Structure 1
Amino acid sequence: MSSSGLVQLGLIFRDEFGNVLASAIKCIFGLWTSDISEALAMAFGLRLAMELSFPHIIAKSYRQLLIGLFQAKETPYSPLGYVLQDCFEWSHLLNRCSWSFTKRSGNYVAHALAKLDDFSSAEQEYFWIEDIPNAVSAVLALDVSLLQ
């Protein structure tokens, strides 16, 4: 989160070979925990999966607490619970959605997207189909090499 309260969420969709299907950044204003930011990114990704007609997805996060709540289908009575409820509603619109924990090192590209300075000036959404911003190309290349 920036000092202005602008939070930038990054996500990437890949196929089973690591090829980029889509990537996106969402900038929103707010003050909340990193768990809520990660849950908001998951909700954003689930909504995009629906809009892009991706019927089967594996939603990955490095936040173990979130994955545990998703897998247990639990929504605590809290601000986090409200965001999780949105995630569940979006996930039910897909043919199949599963939840998977990944180490932070398995989430480099999404993290790099969330940290890009070029997009952090206004509350807005940015999308790339079968592409990513040039500024994270090197991160993607390293990440794909680790998959092989």
Structure 2
Amino acid sequence: MIRAARPGDAAQVAACARSAYARYIPLIGRKPAPMLADVPAQIAAGQVSVWDGDGGVLGYTVAFAHEDAWFLESIAVAPEAAGHGIGRALMQHFEDSGRARGFSRATLYTNAKMVENLAIYPHLGYEETARRVEGGFDRVWFAKAL
């Protein structure tokens, strides 16, 4: 069910990002970064993996090499598909992909106002490594040994 995104998936990936991240707009005061992403360019660069379910794209990740780590730029699950293990499967796929590419470390960030993520990532073995404002977003960085 998880596969590399194809160019024809761009609209569904963007729709998934919009629906998954829309609830954060009032908290952050603007659209979160994944809602502003150039999805066709990310797909063309081979950075996007999707959970392809009966209803089309129900979740996705954007991941690539960044500095000395395998970096998760974004992960989302469509709200109607939440609670069925898709997010966990996508995280596992992200980590497995990093290992397969020879990385010994995974990194990611979340917005400081996405408080549930601040609890989820440590539960998955990630440790907070930094807090900084980037592009107007208050980000909390995490890392995990792969």
| TM bucket, shorter chain | 0.3 to 0.5
- When the two structures are superposed, what TM-score results if normalisation uses the length of structure 1? 0.32
Structure number having the greater strand percentage: 2
Q: What is the TM-score of this pair, normalised by structure 2? A: 0.33
Highest RCO, 1 vs 2 (Cα 8 Å, sep ≥ 6)? 1
Question: Which one has a larger percent helix, Structure 1 or Structure 2?
Answer: 1
